[in-house]
Structure 1
Amino acid sequence: YHWDLPQALQDKGGWDNRETIEAFVAYAEVMFKHFEGKIKYWITFNEPWCVSFLSNFIGAHAPGFENLELAMNVAHHLMIADGKTVIKFRELNTTGQIGYAPNVEWNEPYSNKQEDIDACKRANAWFIEWFFQPVFKGTYPQFMVEWFEKKGARLNIQDGDMEIINQPIDFLGINYYTGSVGRFAEGEGLLDQEKVDKGYQKTDIGWNIYPEGFYNVLCYIKEQYGDVPIYITENGSCYNDEPDNGEVKDEGRLNYLKQHLISLERSMQSGVNIKGYLTWSLLDNFEWAEGY
């Protein structure tokens, strides 16, 4: 699922409506049966953070809402749908492997002050723990639940939800593009944190080139969630390159990929169970927030 929700389901509330969970599982069952024996690797959801928080709290993607509690419950329903889909996959004895592909970033504290460390812990947990811990440990990070409650948003968990989400997966997809340095700033955004420009090079979309964060986040995932097989399902950079005498030198992208592949190799040497790497490459998809 890469965010293409049928309008008929959105008209009923979209991912805020638990009926969408059942609709997705029914859709997945059709796919499992139709493509049986032809697909080795199945991914239930691509970047659930984007489907939930970016789309329903930040409002940058459709449906464009700015409601934290709505975004939290959309995220919760996505993870229930993930768990139910994995259960259906097992029930049907579908050949192949199944996992999901969250997007992650890495936040490094600006200083050794506890308030900076805590702010970055929240920033990382918003991407990592919130979407990993329910699957791998059957719980949400309590410190984030309490933080969101302090911001006026409560998570609506029903009996049996966490057991459904807590399904063993065969692999984990990881999408990584960027990271940042942050420090505590009271009242700044959702997490009381502001970003600090440390002079990192940036892509043409304004994202920091931060290969060290790639290494750090992969090692952190291994430390927190064990020896899960990992495929890098997205990694790449955005540059407005134009042909020069019929050639595209593409030096920025080459440099980006080189640095990140070095970090990837370092993570493997540190024991991270990397099974594959897919670069965000020649063809791009619909740019959801750019009007085309």
Structure 2
Amino acid sequence: MNFANLSFKQPLLAEDLLTISQDKRPLVTFQFEEYLVMKGKQVNNSLDEAVHLQHPIKIHEAMRYSLLAGGKRVRPILCIASCELVGGDESLAMPMACALEMIHTASLIHDDLPCMDNHDLRRGKPTNHKVFSEETAVLAGDALLSLAFEHIASNTRNISPDRVVRAIAELSTTIGSQGLVAEASLVCGAIVGGGNTADIERVRKYARCIGLLFQVVDDILDVTKSSEELGKTAGKDLVSNKATYPKQMGIDKAKKFASELMIQAVGELAYFDAARGAPLYHLANYIANREN
């Protein structure tokens, strides 16, 4: 297959992915949808256990409202998949995975505020400030951000302290935007999974492509999908005159750029065992072809 001619929205087949993998064992038997569902449920259960309904009740209700509202759980799943890619176990990555989702949710709560993007919908539900008030939403976001680091420090097991510190440092320097948080998800997963320097750097390159790909696709969906399809307010970027990829490049070139990013990301996985890399092969394709 000529990857240079791969177009946006054209799914990568398992046999196509094998053409750039050094390990030729079949990926056809990998059940990606089942993997997403299984990992998503495990992440949801862990998040539910991590944030209890306690005093102050209203703040914790607001935290749980947004944190447990659903969502694709892409970031925690990326973290777990990256940990497994370098030979680690899911249990090593789960505290970090939950922390990443807490940070992501905090950013969504704050991004949705009237003083920011002023969204009414998030994950198909009214945004946090619409339900609990702007003041409570600010506090809930702040609390989730703080809890994320506490959760890593208090719940990470069977990992050397230096790796925990390194992962926290990595996360601390990359929070603040969707793309960078996606990168942190993968790199932190590789760190806690025991990856060596070369492994971590390859994962970092994959992560940069995936993080940028996520943003490009997000920008495209904002101008091509309805609010009902997205589960959040559509067309906000156009109204606010944001410098999005479709605005700067045009829709067709933005879609072509997304395809190029996916190909680059998948290329970095060729250095790893194909069976362990299967989730990340498919995740790249999933992010590129998502509909919401």
| Higher relative contact order structure (alpha carbons within 8 Å, sequence separation ≥ 6) | 2
Instruction: Tell me which protein shows more helix as a share of its residues.
Output: 2
